[in-house]
């Protein structure tokens, strides 16, 4: 596993742990009967975070499973796809 792949994997894991904490926070909010709009704001934040994780996993898949190599012609298309996915998933 190269450095870039390891950094990407670590970034995904950190994000998933943060999402896990956010979900536990929502559970606590529900236990405390926090106002629904406040809970929905947190749910929206989790949805955005999980979408970002999805984009990172697609990037990892393209680079490491399909084999799009850095500096190749295909990488430019991959970069555009990732940019488009990020815009769409917001």
The string of pLDDT tens digits covering residues 17-32 is 999 999 999 999 999 9
**At 18, which CATH number?**
1.20.58.1000
Per residue in 52-64, pLDDT (tens digit) is 999 899 888 887 8
Structurally, the chain folds into a number of domains equal to 1
Residue 38: exposed, middle, or buried by beta-carbon count in 10 A (0-12, 13-18, 19+)? exposed
Confidence at 1, pLDDT banded by 50, 70, 90: low
Residue 87 CB neighbours (<10 A): 8
Per-residue pLDDT tens over the stretch 29-56: 999 999 999 999 999 999 999 999 998 9
- The residue segments making up the domain with residue 80 are 3-89
Q: Which residues make Cβ contacts (< 8 Å) with residue 29, sequence separation at least 6?
A: 38, 39, 42
pTM for the whole structure: 0.80
E strands, 18-63, where?
none
């Amino acid at each position: 596993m190269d450095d870039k792949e390891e950094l990407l994997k670590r970034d995904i894991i950190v994000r998933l742990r943060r999402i896990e904490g956010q979900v536990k926070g929502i559970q606590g909010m529900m236990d405390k009967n926090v106002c629904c709009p406040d809970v929905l704001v947190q749910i929206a934040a989790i949805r955005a975070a999980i979408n970002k994780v999805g984009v990172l996993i697609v990037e990892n898949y393209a680079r490491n499973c399909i084999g799009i190599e850095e500096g190749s012609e295909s990488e430019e298309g991959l970069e555009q796809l990732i940019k488009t996915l990020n815009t769409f998933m917001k």
